[in-house]
Amino acid sequence: MRIAFLTAPEGVEQIELTDPWQAVTDAGDEPVLVSTKRGEVQAFDHLDKADTFPVDEVAGETSADSFDALVLPGGVANPDALRMDEAAVAFVRAFFDQGRPVAAICHAPWTLIEADVVSGRVLTSWPSLRTDLRNAGATWVDEQVKVCDHGPNVLITSRKPDDLKAFRETFVAEFAKRRGA
């Protein structure tokens, strides 16, 4: 499976990118870093700059049908920038339109709100997004990880870096169920 990891050029929480990335690799799948610009992505460890990672593909130049699933890492600045980029929002929305699984952690559901794909779904996130998600028509729950199987789509969400183990185990299992589907 080819799994897209969508991030803005700056602001992704490094552990929320690298930990799920490793889980995808360990499962024998191919992680692909997609961003809104060519070059590198600058990751952060909270507010401190961390490592950089090379961009494989650009959101406005690739499409969801090139991938089997999508992972949206968090960090505060990352989804805030993504939700302001039309190509990134369209890329995310296309995964839902095509019935492809999506996993999002921490602040990443901000991008899902902008893509208008949370209404009627049950999900979790960093607690400060609770009101935003409710206002967008979602039901917010305070759980380590939440799987929302909504028709042809499955959305896996998680709250924070402390929940990464449960997040990666759950989304890897859910993605595997859809392998070859």
List residues with catalytic annotation: 107
153-169 as b/e: b if 16+ CB within 10 A? bbbbbbbbbebbeebbe
Greatest distance between any 2 Cα atoms in the chain: 41
Interatomic CA distance for residues 72 and 123, integer angstroms: 14
CA 175, 128, 135, 111 torsion-angle sign = negative
Interatomic CA distance for residues 17 and 25, integer angstroms: 12
- Continuous segment of H or E residues that includes residue 100: none
Interatomic CA distance for residues 13 and 38, integer angstroms: 19
